[in-house]
Structure 1
């Protein structure tokens, strides 16, 4: 019989506290249900898209966006390999999401996830940009249903990341408290600029 205690459920891969992306996943796991409709605003290599697709099930739907064709192709490959058919991966920037999500879903989406920065394993000079990110997250709040959730993983440690972080901080601080609740989850005792998770809940 092992004396090892069970691994904590809310932990990073090394046993510590959850990363910014893991916090976003935990919040999504807590709130999403089969049949829900969601957006992965930054498809990347398709990990978050697949995660969301599995949460909402065959009855639900995921719209995923990425401006880079290799990311779109890899996301589609990953979904196909997993047998997932409830997702639309769109080769376009997240600021265009309103144009691609059918009008009947506007104001009815249950969650939207952003994972900013650059595509892992690719050209690090190709990053999300503050102007289009602000446009996209503002649109995201309009597309969310009452009680819908928005998560944003932010990476201030790369070139352009600090400006994006500062702009998101100002944006979140200006949200009307009667319409939205905004929270920030981040490490506070690291010398580098650690990734952080912003969470916005649209009040019902």
Structure 2
């Protein structure tokens, strides 16, 4: 078996933490691929999916409806940095969250995630996640705003207290064209 590529590894981490009856959050719904993946894993649990772009919200809802999974997901047309307010009344354990930073594939490349809102969302997730839960951040940094966000997010996660969170960086370092990499944060306390 060879080394696992970044996106399969991200799914592996999520699969290890999402079990039926729990809550998972897709912080950047995009075209709905991760949202559907999480919906399949939560069973009678629930998924919250965020995106600021109407195009992404429509695509995600359509993908879920076609798969018969729409009832398991709340698709929120808002920024991921509203997560704590949205899940405030949630009583089930929140065991996983995923971000795909950057821009919506096939859309306006000037509409991107930012370090400011991503870090705000990461702070909020640390408050609402169950102990042992995981946050998977896929960082795409092959564009100008992606490089800025990468540096800001890395500085933030490197500053986290190791007693509160374990932080892993996973990615290939000898590939051209700025390959994406993963930051995984496991809540310890």
Q: TM-score range by the shorter chain?
A: over 0.9
Largest Rg, 1 or 2? 1
CA contact (8 A) 1:65 1:90 kept: yes
Identify the residue that residue 78 of structure 1 maps to in structure 2. 63
SS in 1 for 2:47: strand
Identify the residue that residue 64 of structure 1 maps to in structure 2. 49
TM-score by length of 2: 0.94
Specify which of 187, 192, 196 is matched with residue 177 of structure 2.
192
Per-residue deviation, residues 78-117 of structure 1 (Å, max 9, x unmatched): 00110002100000000111121133449x3111111111
Identify the residue that residue 24 of structure 1 maps to in structure 2. 10
Specify which of 130, 143, 157 is matched with residue 158 of structure 1.
143
Specify which of 74, 91, 96 is matched with residue 111 of structure 1.
96
Asked whether 1:92 is paired with 2:73, we answer no
CA contact (8 A) 1:43 1:75 kept: yes
Per-residue deviation, residues 15-73 of structure 1 (Å, max 9, x unmatched): x643332211011112221111111000000000000000111x110000000001001
TM-score by length of 1: 0.87
CA distance in structure 1 between the aligned counterparts of 2:51 and 2:79, rounded to whole angstroms: 6
Identify the residue that residue 176 of structure 1 maps to in structure 2. 161
CA contact (8 A) 1:45 1:119 kept: yes
Query: Unpaired runs of 5+ in structure 2?
Result: none
Query: Unpaired runs of 5+ in structure 1?
Result: 1-7, 9-15
